[in-house]
Chain A
Amino acid sequence: MVPRLFKEIHWPMFFVILILTGIGIASIYSATFRMQENYAVKQLGWAGIAVFVFFVTVWVGYRPFFNMSYLLYGISIVLLILVLIMGEVRSGASRWIDVGPFALQPSELAKISTIIVLADLFAGRPIFFGQKRILLLASILVLIPCVLVLKQPDLGSALVFIPMFLAIIFLWGVRIRYLVIFFIGVIASMPFAWHFLKPYQQKRILVFLDPSIDPIGVSYTAIQSKIAVGSGQIWGKGWLQGTQTHLDFVPEHHTDFIFSVIGEEFGFLGCLLLVLLFALLITYAFQIMQNTTDLRARLLATGISVILFFQVAVNIGMTIGLAPITGIPLPLVSYGGSSLVMTFFGLGLLESIYKERSIF
């Protein structure tokens, strides 16, 4: 069984994933080695679990997950409701459910299960007629977890659903005019969504537009993280040599702002390497998509790679002031068990699509 499991694995992709995770652990260590809690070792443990989950997913294959797509989706909706009712509150938001020694973040599961449901839904439908009905149904399926996550409130994770949905319907073959209508819809709903946001979220977006309005809060973070990244210059200050992030100028520097540590210590070249590695990962994902004949698998791979891409782009963007601060982690790199394990699960699905690409 074991030899068969390791046959036909896309090893380059697996190694890129491992390198990224390794960079993450090294940066987490650098960000937190002065703190009491050993986050790097914890993340290493999570990485172990994540690799295990990855291979289990490859072994099981992606197909069974389609068979239980609605079950997974249902579970994640229930968990999202539970987290609103009894979730642990941190920094004014309830995003975690305490499960024994660790905290589960149901929004991570919700992302992947929504992709699976959407891929399953669209792959079985012809694109030539009845698009409206199917799109309406799909929008509802996306909107439910999206609104629940927004209610936590977790703006960043909720935003991820939008590009994921658009990319899946785009590749499925949605009529361009519907896509345009969707875009207009999203833009038109923004003023309403604005009232839905908590004051501090509104503040973050306003600060993005005009950093001078909140000098003691978010904009301080924004400026400090920019200084941190910028001060890395071309070569970086070297591992464990960063000063900005270590001195607590940047909050959450082992989770959402881990990139400011990387920018400061590894410089522009290090950052470029990181971006290239992510670009490589996305390229591999698209290669895998090209090689499969199964439309479901293709749409699944689209969703997974778009989520990955979106989080990378927005996370790095927010540390250098290109995007508002919304609380999106850097996949594979930021500290956080739920995020790491679910990312590996998604990549495991990709891997299994590669492995089972040509069953005639």
Chain B
Amino acid sequence: MKSTTRFNFLLYGMYLCLLIVSAGLFRTQVINGSDYREASERNRIRLIRREAPRGNIYDRNGLPVATNRPALYAYIIPEDFDPKDIPELSPLLGLTEWDIRQRISKARGASFTPVLLKSDLSLDTAMQIEEKRPKFSGVFIQVKAIRFYPQHETAAHVVGYIGKMTKEEYEKLDHSVYGYDSWIGRSGIERLYDQMLRGEDGGVQLEVNARGVPINVLSEKDVTVGHDLYISIDANFESKVRPLLAGQKGAILVGDIKTGGLLTAISTPGFDPNVFVTPEQKKERLDVIGSKEKPLLNRGFNGLYPPGSVFKLLTAIAGLETGVITPHTTFTCRGFFKLNRKSRPYKCWYKGGHGRVDFYRALERSCNVYFYNVGRLLGEKRLAEYARKFGFGSPVDLSFPNVSGVVPDQEWKKKAVHDQWYTGDTISFAIGQGYLLVSPLQILQMVTTIATDGRVSKPLLIFDKNEPSKTELGIHPETFKALKQGMLQVVQSDYGTGQLARVDFEKLAGKTGTAQAPPGLPHAWMGAFFPYEDPKIAIVVFVERGKSGGIAAANMVKEVVRIWNEAYGTAVI
């Protein structure tokens, strides 16, 4: 019998619940029905969403690089609007009557939802509309923030830009955070830190009368402003350095060695992020996106190129560390190098040959034959091992996307090229040619590592009050000492390949590179640190098809150091 009791208990329990639901329906529909009917007929509640202003982004000196400017938007609630007003409204807004009708009819089915009529109105227009009140019921002007990048091209690749969310994105995101019309970070810091920068939207529930005029605020939620961010870039400095690359494709990176913060990360050609946020600049926007020059590509972080002779620094480190050579080891350069009697000659850039050179002289004059020999003694395995140790082949730990590049070895070649590894590949690898591909940012990381004797700070783009985290590589100090001495000679010696970078107020050390990348002219590279005695900055200049590292890149390094010295230096010129 007990089970029958339970059976009935369950059944009648369900009946009871349904009865309660029915009672609820009775209360809502019959007792309070007329109130709700009235509310629905007048449809008197309007919801107006207010977008939270996005947080600003400042450079290291507090100069705004991304901020908001107020802009006026004209909206219309179709249901509250009298179409007779269209002829008068259209000249005011500079829209054709057909345009306005089109916009209104698009919203059919949701005629109480405000529809955008025109964005970024002039103050004059807005005033004229307001003056004609009570005409134009249903039309209202709202002040909204438009993203503005006051530095235009400067730091654009780092800061990034925002864009309107697509319908697909909206479907995927949490609707309580992202509104239908929300902006979202599309690239750079704007995208990486979107969560932080965006605040929380607010809004009001308004009660309106039959003509759509608000008569009462039912409830209101304040907007929460987004967080501000400080980046390590010095916008003033960058805007002075940028003209050096005018008309050329390339990248200049300058890192603050003490803090790890990047002072500048220029990539040319650049773009003005404002075209992505200004409603009236659709044509410019499409130009930037479609350009063959690829202005959106951040060449410093995401460009992949053969490093050429700059990579000899790494071959040198590997050689010294493994004991394959000492700074006193000499090789004879006759202008070419042969693996054996029958092999083809691998040329040195200096046809006459450098003669008998030791380690320092080899770096100073960038002797290919010397490093062919080192590379051959090392073998590709050890070369690849040290290249990876110095960060090649994987993205730089920057909390900002950048490419990994290619460090070739036997396994890689089998997979990617379906061919075995030849000793000739090792020879090319040793002087930064062949299959090796690096980003300018990775070169900056290597130069910084050398300049700091391996106690390198983690590179940063966002300002961080914490003590920079340092990593130890376990490389002997003598190795760095020898390398720095060599790099000093590159610039200071009258035979050095980088002597054009020499500045007259303090000692500079660096290494040039002229990377063959047929078809077309070679790429120009130079990596340097300054001052030699107590390094404060690391510099990488990369010029796509720049012809010669010793000329194009070295000249720019000199200018960068001069500009930096004016801003930060203590040396008297």
**Partner-B contacts on A (CB < 8 A):** 34-35, 89-92, 167, 170-171, 173, 198-200, 203, 212, 214-218, 220, 223-224, 226-234, 243-244, 246-249, 263-264, 267-268, 271-272, 275, 278-279, 282-283, 286, 289-290, 302, 305-306, 309, 312-313, 316-317, 320-322
Contacts and interface: CB of A to CB of B under 8 A. Distances in A.
Chain B residues touching A, range = 35 or more
B176 A231 contact: no
A34 B108 contact: yes
A170 B14 CA distance: 14
B11 A215 contact: no
A229 B32 CA distance: 11
Interface of B: 2-3, 6-7, 10-11, 14-15, 17-18, 20-22, 24-26, 28-30, 32-37, 39-41, 43, 45, 47, 49, 79, 108-113, 171-176, 201-205, 218-221
Contacts of A233: 29-30, 33-34, 36-37
Nearest to A174: B6
A244 B40 contact: yes
A173 B34 contact: no
A229 B14 contact: no
B219 to A, nearest CB: 4
Given A91-B173, A322-B24, 10 more contacts: A90-B172, A167-B10, A200-B174, A216-B203, A232-B33, A279-B15, A279-B18, A309-B14, A316-B25, A320-B24
Contact of B32 (A212, A230, A234, A312): A230
A224 B218 CA distance: 13
A247 B110 contact: yes
Given A92-B173, A243-B43, A234 B30 contact: yes
B205 A170 contact: no
Nearest to B171: A90
Nearest to B39: A227
5 contacts: A89-B172, A215-B205, A215-B218, A223-B45, A283-B11
Contacts of B21: 275, 312-313, 316-317, 322
Q: Is the contact region of chain A dominated by helix, strand, or loop, or is it mixed?
A: helix
A91 B28 contact: no
Contacts of A203: 176
A272 B30 CA distance: 12
Q: Is the contact region of chain B dominated by helix, strand, or loop, or is it mixed?
A: helix
Contact of A215 (B26, B29, B203): B203
Nearest to A264: B40
A170 B10 contact: yes
Contacts of A223: 45
B33 A230 contact: yes
A244 to B, nearest CB: 5
A215 B109 contact: no
Given A170-B10, A215-B203, A231-B40, A220 B29 contact: no
A257 to B, nearest CB: 14
A216 B202 contact: yes
B18 A275 contact: yes
Contact of A229 (B7, B11, B28, B112): B28
Nearest to B174: A92
Given A230-B36, A246-B109, A217 B29 contact: no
A325 to B, nearest CB: 12
A227 B109 contact: no
Contact of A290 (B7, B218, B219): B7
Contacts of B172: 89-92
A249 B218 contact: no
B145 to A, nearest CB: 18
List the 10 closest pairs (A to B, CB-CB), nearest first.
Answer: A230-B36, A216-B203, A92-B174, A231-B40, A233-B33, A215-B219, A248-B110, A268-B29, A34-B109, A231-B37
Given A226-B36, A279-B18, A317-B21, A216 B29 contact: no
Nearest to A244: B40
B201 A309 contact: no
A283 B49 CA distance: 47
B10 A230 contact: no
B29 A229 contact: yes
Nearest to B203: A216
Contacts of B2: 173
